[in-house]
Amino acid sequence: MKSYISCLATFVLLLILCSCNSSKKVTTIDFHDGSYVGEVDKKGLKHGKGTYKWLDGSFYEGDFDRDLRHGTGHFKWANGETYKGDYLQDQRTGLGIYTWPDGSFYEVSFLNGKRHGNGIFISSEVFSKLHIQNLVHQFLSLP
């Protein structure tokens, strides 16, 4: 029984040590238009989780695969517009939400960087009018 516990303890210790030794390393890379902080592969390509910040203030935070945005991510442009959703080989592809600085947003599927199919657009003006109408209705309904 003691040898079984000793063997099990050794196995668990080896498992922990091996899992700590990731093949991806976190690094900072400067480019002519910005910088990247995140995981890279053995060749030094962006691969895994990371953030790329452009000089104009725009940034992408999310998944990379062989130097391309690939997986789930969040892109924010310098003008305040954002996209949160799926990427495939550096293109918005899959489900995503595009948001404008005024609070309006569009939830839709994307294909090769362009809107694809039917989506839901909510304008900040429509939302504000509905919110005000609900408040007035609630006020007038008070005893």
Q: State residue 3 phi and psi, 5-degree precision.
A: -65, -35
Tokens 């918005």, located at residue: 92
pLDDT at residue 128 is higher than 80: no
**What's the pTM value of the predicted model, to 2 decimals?**
0.69
- Cβ–Cβ < 8 Å for 62, 87: yes
Task: Summarize pLDDT for 7-52 with one digit per residue, the tens.
Answer: 445 544 444 544 444 556 889 999 999 999 999 999 999 999 999 9
Average pLDDT, the chain: 80
pLDDT of 3 higher than 70: no
